């Protein structure tokens, strides 16, 4: 069986959905291709005085909405095709969750573990300077965020470099998201993608007819979950699904091996063990599987690939037993594997929806940066006082007292993190309904991914039709 490059895979999914959109061939072509591809060399001076030249990219897939948005990945596997695929997925992802951005993505071909913190800072700052020079970054131009191998630390370096080169630009902080909270970041960004996966799974499992088709009970509680990749996305998905959704995480796979316990792994203890020892292996109360890939093939209700693309492909798809696959990573299931899994009746919740929590909260962070005020600052006390007055009045009229605990719950005004979580929850619920309704509206649409593409392409096409073509 033929396999595809990652970008070809995304194009294949696009082509599968295109006939259901009713858009013209030319318009579909405009939406499908990448608008701009930047490849730059990033030189790094080594301790021995020599220079190492690194390969780096930034791709803007679609400028139908501005700025463009997408993470920056540090990985040895980074290449132009991968960055193009990830940029395209960002366009569709933003459209699915109604985030008013075009799609972009960046990457540097390095294994960050092989460099010191000082070297990583130099690499990140030089890469940012290249983006500034080529006008590939800015709060109204293109706004990066963290992805595989990067996090708040790198985002802070990017923001600082941009501000230094664009001295006095009042909205400079909005040039990148996923920054540390004390550096113009937003509460709840670090957990956002994992929390979004949880809200998305909860939505999917709330439809009784869909669950019945899968032979599962309605609701998330008690369902078994296997996670591949305990990084940012995987760890918060597991933690929040367990703590707030009552999910049983029975296995976790990492780059150096996989562990299993059918009775369930305690996520806070596992994450603490990994943070302390640098590995999930050796965790008390779990057995190690022979190969890391074995975890993917375990009997479970929900499989969460949260590492890298192409993990479920033609070589292992027929051995996957999960009823639901939540694509926390970008592109973890190849088109060939999807065909096998859909035939088996598996519900694949596509990346462009299920991992959109990160870009959604990035959007909130960007809004915060442009408004220069923390969410909740203006209204929290006002709301608390108003609720107090209502309770006081109810007590006076009824002659009955509200106990202190109930009063505290009712009068609590929203903090920034409460507003971020509620905005994310609203977004994930609405978007799931949007893609599910599209799916159910036409029996020829083969699954949720095709439906998500149809839903996204129609919105983008509508933008183009209203905008017209310049000149
Ligand atoms: P991360 O670097 O924090 O974590 C990835 C983890 O996967 C690491 O712990 C790594 O050791 C592990 N891993 C690598 N190869 C593996 C393998 N073969 N088997 C098992 N584990 C393996 O990265 P992340 O930010 O959590 O991103 C993970 C995926 O989620 C990527 O596909 C990324 O594009 C996607 N994503 C991330 C975000 C975000 O906000 N960070 C948002 C949307 C999508």
Mutate to test the pocket of ligand 1, among 84, 85, 111, 148 (most ligand atoms within 8 A of CB): 148
Ligand 1 atom closest to the Cα of residue 328 is 30
Token pair listed for 453? 């593409």
Alpha helix (H) residue ranges in 107-216: 117-133, 152-165, 192-204, 208-214
Q: Which of 69, 93, 105, 179 is catalytic?
A: 105
**What is the CA(149)–ligand 1 centre distance, in A?**
7
pLDDT at 3: 65
SS3 content of the chain, % helix, strand, coil (to 5): 50, 15, 35
Helices (H) and strands (E) in the chain, counts: 16, 12
What's the CA-to-centroid distance between 372 and ligand 1, angstroms? Answer: 31
CB within 8 Å of 405: residues ≥ 6 apart: none
CB 464 within 8 A of CB 31: yes
265 neighbors 289 (Cβ within 8 angstroms): no
Q: How far is the CA of 113 from the centre of ligand 1 (A)?
A: 14
Edge-to-edge strand ranges of the sheet holding 302-305? 287-288, 257-260, 248-254, 224-228, 302-305, 324-326, 347-349
Give the pocket of ligand 1 (CB within 6 Å): 146-149, 193, 228-234, 253-255, 292, 306-308, 328-330, 355, 358
State yes or no: is 105 an active-site residue.
yes
Residue bearing tokens 């920054």? 179
Q: Hunting for tokens 């093939």 — which residue is that?
A: 297
Question: Can you give the pLDDT at residue 1?
Answer: 46
Burial 150-188 (b: 16+ CB within 10 A, else e): bbbbbbbbbbbbbeebeeeeeebbbbbbbbebeebbbbb
C-beta separation of 200 from 432 below 8 A: yes
- The two beta strands, 102-108 and 68-74, are parallel
DSSP class per residue in 418-451:
HHHHHHHHHHHHHHHHHHHHHHHH-TTS-SHHHH
Q: For helices 267-277 and 232-245, what crossing angle results, to 10°? A: 150
Residue in the structure block whose two tokens are 């985002």: 155
Q: Is 43 helix (H, G, I), strand (E, B) or coil?
A: strand
Kindly list the distances between the CA atom of residue 26 and the CA atoms of 33, 37, 181, in Å, as whole numbers in the listed order.
11, 21, 44
pTM assigned to the model? 0.95
Q: What separation in Å is there between the alpha carbon of 1 and the centre of ligand 1?
A: 27
Going by alpha carbons, the residue nearest to atom 28 of ligand 1 is 307
H-type helices in 181-334, by residue range?
192-204, 208-214, 232-245, 267-277
Compute mean pLDDT per 10 residues along the chain, 471 residues long, and list them. 79 96 96 97 94 98 96 97 97 98 98 97 98 98 96 97 97 98 96 97 98 98 98 97 98 97 98 97 95 97 95 96 97 94 97 97 98 95 96 97 96 95 98 98 95 98 90 83
Q: Alpha carbon of 10 to those of 65, 82, 340, 348: distances in Å? A: 20, 10, 17, 15
């Amino acid at each position: 069986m033929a396999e595809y490059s990652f970008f070809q895979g995304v194009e294949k999914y696009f082509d599968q959905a295109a006939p259901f959109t009713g858009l013209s061939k030319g318009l579909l072509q405009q939406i499908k291709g990448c608008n701009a591809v930047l490849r730059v060399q990033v030189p790094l001076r080594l301790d021995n005085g020599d220079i190492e030249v690194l390969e780096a990219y930034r791709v803007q897939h679609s400028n139908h909405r501005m700025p463009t948005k997408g993470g920056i990945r540090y990985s040895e596997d980074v290449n132009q095709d991968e960055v193009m695929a990830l940029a395209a997925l960002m366009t569709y992802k933003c459209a699915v969750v109604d985030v008013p951005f075009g799609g972009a993505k960046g990457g540097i071909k390095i294994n960050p573990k092989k460099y010191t913190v000082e070297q990583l800072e130099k690499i990140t700052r030089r890469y940012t300077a290249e983006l500034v020079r080529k006008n590939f970054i800015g709060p109204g131009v293109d706004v990066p965020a963290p992805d595989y191998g990067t996090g708040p630390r790198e985002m802070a370096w990017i923001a600082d470099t941009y501000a230094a080169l664009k001295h006095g630009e009042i909205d400079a902080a909005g040039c990148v998201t996923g920054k540390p909270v004390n550096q113009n970041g937003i509460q709840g960004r670090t957990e956002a993608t994992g929390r979004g996966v949880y809200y998305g799974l909860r939505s999917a499992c709330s439809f009784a007819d869909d669950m019945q088709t899968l032979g599962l009970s309605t609701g998330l509680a008690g369902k078994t979950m296997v996670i591949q990749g305990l990084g940012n996305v995987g760890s918060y998905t597991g933690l929040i699904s367990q703590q707030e959704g009552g999910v049983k995480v029975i296995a976790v796979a990492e780059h150096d091996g996989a562990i299993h316990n059918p009775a369930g792994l305690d996520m806070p203890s596992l994450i603490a063990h990994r943070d302390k020892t640098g590995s999930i292996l050796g965790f008390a109360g779990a057995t190690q599987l022979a190969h890391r890939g074995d975890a993917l093939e375990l009997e479970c209700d929900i499989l969460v690939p949260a590492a890298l693309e192409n993990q479920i492909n033609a070589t292992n798809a027929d051995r996957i037993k999960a009823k639901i696959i939540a694509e926390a990573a970008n592109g973890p299931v190849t088109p060939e594997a999807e065909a096998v899994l859909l035939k088996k009746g598996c519900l694949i919740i596509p990346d462009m929806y299920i991992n959109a929590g990160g870009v959604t909260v990035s959007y909130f962070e960007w809004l915060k940066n442009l408004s220069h005020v923390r969410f909740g600052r203006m209204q929290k006390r006002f709301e608390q006082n108003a609720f107090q007055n209502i309770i006081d009045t109810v007590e006076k009229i009824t002659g009955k007292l509200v106990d202190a605990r109930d009063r505290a719950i009712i009068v609590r005004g929203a903090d920034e993190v409460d507003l971020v979580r509620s905005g994310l929850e609203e977004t994930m619920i609405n978007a799931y309904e949007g893609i599910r309704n599209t799916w159910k509206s036409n029996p020829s649409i083969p699954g949720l991914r095709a439906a998500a593409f149809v839903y996204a392409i129609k919105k983008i096409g509508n933008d183009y039709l209203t905008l017209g073509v310049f000149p």
